């Protein structure tokens, strides 16, 4: 299994264990290009979750989609191996987690532009 697939599998397990609705997004002719890897509904919140391995960052189009989700009132996250523990904590806390944990999870455009 490729590293990014491992991140996706672990994130899926965390979402399911937390009772979240989770659906993977497979790019196709009817899917908006750059859409995050998963749509998640957790405790009334919409989460757009992009999974990456290592130090990989979202592409410009993925960044645009994450920004659009945040601007529409959703939660945009980029999760890698290092952030899986933060995701687990976020879910365990019901989405009301320590601000430092949330800060590491939330998509921040400036952090991905460096």
b/e per residue 42-76 (b: at least 16 CB within 10 A): beeeebbbbbbeeeebbeeebbebbeebbeeebbb
In this predicted structure, the answer to whether residue 111 has a pLDDT above a threshold of 80 is no
Predicted local distance difference test score (pLDDT) of residue 12: 96
Work out the average pLDDT over 66-77: 92
Residue 114 confidence (pLDDT) above 50: no
Say what the pLDDT of residue 112 is: 53
Provide the pLDDT for residue 109.
65
What is the rounded distance in angstroms from the CA atom of residue 28 to the CA atom of residue 34? Answer: 11
Q: What's the predicted TM-score (pTM) here?
A: 0.86
Stronger pLDDT, 97 or 25, i.e. the higher one? 25
pLDDT band at residue 95 using 50, 70 and 90 as cut-offs: confident
């Amino acid at each position: 299994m490729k590293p990014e697939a491992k991140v996706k599998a672990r994130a899926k397990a965390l979402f399911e264990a937390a009772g979240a609705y989770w659906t993977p997004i497979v790019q196709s002719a009817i899917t908006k290009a750059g859409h995050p890897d998963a749509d998640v509904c957790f405790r009334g919140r919409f989460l757009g979750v992009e999974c990456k391995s290592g130090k990989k960052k979202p592409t410009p189009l993925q960044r645009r989609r994450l920004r659009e989700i945040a601007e529409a009132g959703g939660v945009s996250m980029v999760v890698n191996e290092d952030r899986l523990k933060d995701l687990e904590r976020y879910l365990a806390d019901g989405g009301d987690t320590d601000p430092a944990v949330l800060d590491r999870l939330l998509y921040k455009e400036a952090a991905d532009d460096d």
